[in-house]
Amino acid sequence: MITNTKLAALAAALLLAASLFARPAVADVDVEAGKQIGYSCLGCHGIDGYRNAYPSYRVPKLGGQKSTYLEIALKGYRDSTRSHRTMTAQASSLTDQDIANVAAYFASIGGDTVAAGGSRDVSFDKAQTCVACHGPNGISANPMWPTLAGQHEDYLLQALNAYRDGSRKDPVMSAQAALLAEEDLALLAEYFAGLDGLETTKPE
């Protein structure tokens, strides 16, 4: 059950996150330019089941993910609010325009179920708090928040633990993950991974 105190804290965190992640002005996105930049990304994100070496987890699916969220994530790697050696190296030379272009490219391919709005509603009670941002079927209506439906279970668990231990910084998720018991993290990851949604991006 979500108390008024929790709702107030969540609302405050959402407002803070919106101010932190406000998107600066860029020129109109160029999906074709994003495709060229994103080609090297497919060496990991375009292979079913491809795993990060240490710690071991499957790299996230990008097909159908929100472009604004992908921009936030890439800027996080570039600006060191997210920690991952390979991703930091990949993002370090990208301009805001480059990031907008590549994010638009990945959002534009695959993800047919995401585009259609999913096919199942959240019924797992511990997921109800997540619905405020991530949508009633694990597919976010807000471009700032990632779609969770269909994402790899072990990647979701890795991300939740990173928010808990502070290695990934986000005012909303850090606060929410801190409230969850370890067994609940695993259940949430399993639940959202089982919903219809994101797809592994395939090279043409």
Sequence spans of domains, the chain:
30-193
What is the CATH code of the structural domain delimited by 30-193? 1.10.760.10
The CA distance from 65 to 190, in Å, is: 19
Q: What phi and psi values does residue 82 have, to the nearest 5 degrees?
A: -120, 145
Residues 100 and 71 sit within 8 Å (Cβ to Cβ): yes
The CA distance from 113 to 106, in Å, is: 15
How do residues 16-59 score in pLDDT, each as one tens digit?
A: 444 444 455 566 999 999 999 999 999 999 999 999 988 899 99
Q: For residue 168, what are the β-bridge partners?
A: 82
The CA distance from 5 to 144, in Å, is: 24
Task: Look up residue 3 and give its two tokens.
Answer: 């108390």
50: left (phi over 0), alpha (psi -120 to 50) or beta: beta
Q: From the centroid of its chain, how far is CA 189?
A: 13
Tell me the whole-structure pTM to 2 decimals: 0.83
Residues 150 and 195 sit within 8 Å (Cβ to Cβ): yes
Q: What is the DSSP letter of 62?
A: -
Query: Would you place residue 11 in the very low, low, confident or very high pLDDT band (cuts 50, 70, 90)?
Result: very low
Nearest to 148 by CA among 171, 102, 159: 159
Mean predicted confidence (pLDDT) in 108-120: 83
